[in-house]
Amino acid sequence: VLNVDNASQIQVKVNGQSTSNFIFNESTNIVRINRTLVAGSNLFEIIATNLGGTDTDQTTIIYKRTQVTKPTALWLNPSQSPFATYNGSHQLTGKVTGVNSKSNVTIKKNGTTLSQNMWGFNVTTKVVSFNTGLVLGNNIFELIATNEGGSATATTVIVYEERPCDKPTVQF
């Protein structure tokens, strides 16, 4: 803004509303407006007044929000649910999409969130993996991926069963 001495000679409007939330640098003649944009059109108008008259200029900034795709989550192993086993432990693997780091992934075992140091996450392949002990009966695992677009949950059930054994035989 040229030919003004200070900010009191400047009026700033954002989307038709006057604002005093601007800075005028008298040595550079630059007006700075720090404003959060709304989705769509944002009209900025600057009106400068001095003894010689008034001048106005305006510009429109069109803000388009980046559409973030909702993540996905899928158990790879076991690939079916429920999955029955006689083994007291199991190596689980899953895959998520739409996340950038391990902090966007949660794994729950029977409703309890597992500490992130208990499982691995490959940032490139987006594969999570961990080995865990099982309790007799149903073991419910949830794989949850979260980003700005939402969250996705995959659930699998591993049924740990005792291995049947033969009835004892007694002979004389």
Strand ranges for the chain from DSSP E: 10-14, 17-19, 22-25, 30-33, 40-50, 53-63, 72-77, 83-85, 89-97, 105-109, 112-113, 120-122, 127-133, 137-147, 150-160
pTM of the full predicted structure? 0.63
Mean of the per-residue pLDDT values of the chain: 94
Q: In whole angstroms, what is the distance from residue 100 CA to residue 92 CA?
A: 21
Summarize the confidence of residues 66-91 as an average pLDDT: 95
Q: Residue 75 CA to chain centroid, in angstroms?
A: 20
Summarize the confidence of residues 58-76 as an average pLDDT: 93
Does residue 171 carry a pLDDT above 90? no
Question: pLDDT value at position 85?
Answer: 97
3-state SS assignment for residue 2: coil
From residue 63, alpha-carbon distances to 33, 41, 95 in Å are 16, 6, 33
Summarize the confidence of residues 146-151 as an average pLDDT: 94
